[in-house]
A and B are shown apart, each in its own frame.
Chain A
Amino acid sequence: MTTLTREESEALIQEVLEVYPEKARKDRAKHLMVNDKELESSKKCITSNRKSLPGVMTMRGCAYAGSKGVVWGPIKDVISISHGPIGCGQYSRAGRRAYYVGTTGVDTYGDMCFTSDFQEKDIVFGGDKKLAKLIEELEVLFPLSKGISIQSECPIGLIGDDIEAVAKKKAAEIEKPVVPVRCEGFRGVSQSLGHHIANDSVRDFILSNRDGQPFESTPYDVAILGDYNIGGDAWASRILLEEMGLRVVAQWSGDGTLAEMENTPNVKLNLLHCYRSMNYIARHMEEKYNIPWMEYNFFGPTKIAESLRAIAEHFDDTIKEGAERVIAKYQPMVDEIIAKFKPRLEGKKVMLYIGGLRPRHVVGAYEDLGMEVTGTGYEFAHNDDYDRTIKEMKDATLIYDDATGHELDEFAKALKPDLIGSGIKEKYCFHKMGFPFRQMHSWDYSGPYHGYDGFAVFARDMDMTVNNPCWTKLTPPWKKVVADELKKAA
């Protein structure tokens, strides 16, 4: 457990950069910064959304991962075809632990793998005929599906298949939306562009489908955007909104349906949780349908109360009273959680390296438990994310963009955090180094972490990890060797 001063943090960054060749060092230096709360804009201190350096280990995904895994995947009644060779589809199948209600294979298809399984001949002669046949077969096998999305893998863009034409023809035949998504993995520098492409395809093929149709609206209609129902997150968020008197028309896209998405243009306010992956569609709806949007944060009681009040500001007094009622209702529960776990977690240091919204959104939840976040970073953020992060983080903390394996290891060794929160690719390295670790992409198969109910689970999980006696029993293999050699020498 170490707290670094500004000078020490800057020295640490320089030390970590030393192993790189000169050109790489210059490039990586732009992606690392020591936080300065005074700053209004991150632009001058940190560069983001750039191509990862060849030769280093990056934790990023691809555009296909962003589109299929994040935006389209969790929509439960839409069949997402992985168009291309089988690997991408199979390894991303049910990869994100988004919960839903429904019966898989009957009316719900979230964790199934549909793929066109490209072979050499499909690359040589084109795969459009196969795709058309695949859609016909799907219609026979799964007649209850509400629509189909075609998630392109790399070869589709490389050989130039015209999936748009196939989609248009088949959509007319089966009378359901068939959405071609040009999310080939090579597009962009990370999964971030995949989110954007997926948002654009929703905009072009789904959003305006029910324009002009009657809709029984209330003045309290809202939509939850950018909540993927990891471990039931969207449900834990939804009940708070409903308790304060709002009507949640749609969940995008965790436990979401096509009908919900088509009805979203009728809402009065879009609530945006994951800004990075869904701000595009919120911006579009603001322009086309005049629906305002706002970001909110449902991690930890402080931020939840702040967010509930900010949401209520957009509505009349009944909702404002509702917000206060909800906050008051859960206060005893929050007090109990904090009384139980804060003494066990107080003063512990946390290092994060995640994606999307979490590197800044969970900071409040840790602070509610008396913990301190000493370093944070994003895999695929843009500058607007860092603008928001600077305000959330304490002064002189480390911020790293698209960190490499080497950088993370060295930062962890220097910061000596009591807890590291990152993804599955980092999990076992840090386990072996003896650092308490939580996998913060899918809440380490726990959850929910959103809302008051989620905070109870969050606090329990953090306590379970930080205060687990097993961590002191671990010696990393490389340290073991040194110990053995010392014994021999002595």
Chain B
Amino acid sequence: MANIMIRTNAAGGLVFYLPKRDLEAAIASIEFDTPEKWGGELKLENGGSYYIDPIAKPPRLPISLRARRLGAAED
């Protein structure tokens, strides 16, 4: 489990940030994206994927969350 932060970029897309490793990557897809259920598996553009427990859609980004690594991009 790692602390991550999700924010929106200027273009309106979601950006994933892992402070521990200074890893910043655009989020290619998010599993659930509805007002009641938001989160699940995050697929990153660099090839990695992480899982966050689905929550109600946060009213404001950025938000810090706990995430589990499913598959990291090759180091």
Report A's interface with B, CB cutoff 8 A.
40-41, 43, 47, 49, 192, 196, 280, 283, 286-287, 290, 294, 382-384
Contact = CB atoms under 8 A, between A and B. Distances in A.
Nearest to B75: A47
Contacts of A196: 19, 22
14 contacts: A41-B25, A43-B73, A47-B75, A283-B5, A286-B62, A287-B7, A287-B62, A287-B63, A287-B64, A290-B60, A294-B10, A382-B23, A383-B24, A384-B22
B62 A43 contact: no
Interface string B3-43: 00101001000000101001111000000000000000000
Nearest to B64: A287
Contacts of A382: 22-24
B54 interface: no
A53 B46 CA distance: 25
Nearest to B62: A287
A283 B73 contact: no
Contact of A43 (B5, B46, B60): B46
B62 A41 contact: no
Leading 7 A-B pairs by shortest Cβ distance: A384-B24, A287-B62, A43-B46, A382-B22, A286-B62, A41-B46, A287-B64
A192 B5 CA distance: 19
Contacts of B63: 287
Interface residues of B, number: 18
B53 interface: no
B25 to A, nearest CB: 8
Contacts of A49: 22
A71 to B, nearest CB: 15
B47 interface: yes
Nearest to B22: A382
B63 to A, nearest CB: 7
Given A41-B25, A196-B22, 7 more contacts: A41-B46, A283-B17, A287-B62, A290-B60, A294-B10, A382-B23, A384-B22
A199 to B, nearest CB: 10
Contact of A283 (B47, B60, B62): B62
**A40, A49, A384: residue with the most chain B Cβ atoms closer than 10 Å:** A384
Nearest to B73: A43
Contacts of A294: 10
Contacts of A287: 5, 7, 62-64
Contacts of A47: 75
Contacts of B19: 196, 280, 283
Contacts of A384: 22, 24
Given A43-B46, A287-B63, A290-B60, A383 B5 contact: no
A382 B47 CA distance: 17
B64 to A, nearest CB: 6
B15 to A, nearest CB: 10
Contacts of A280: 19
Contacts of A283: 5, 7, 17, 19, 62
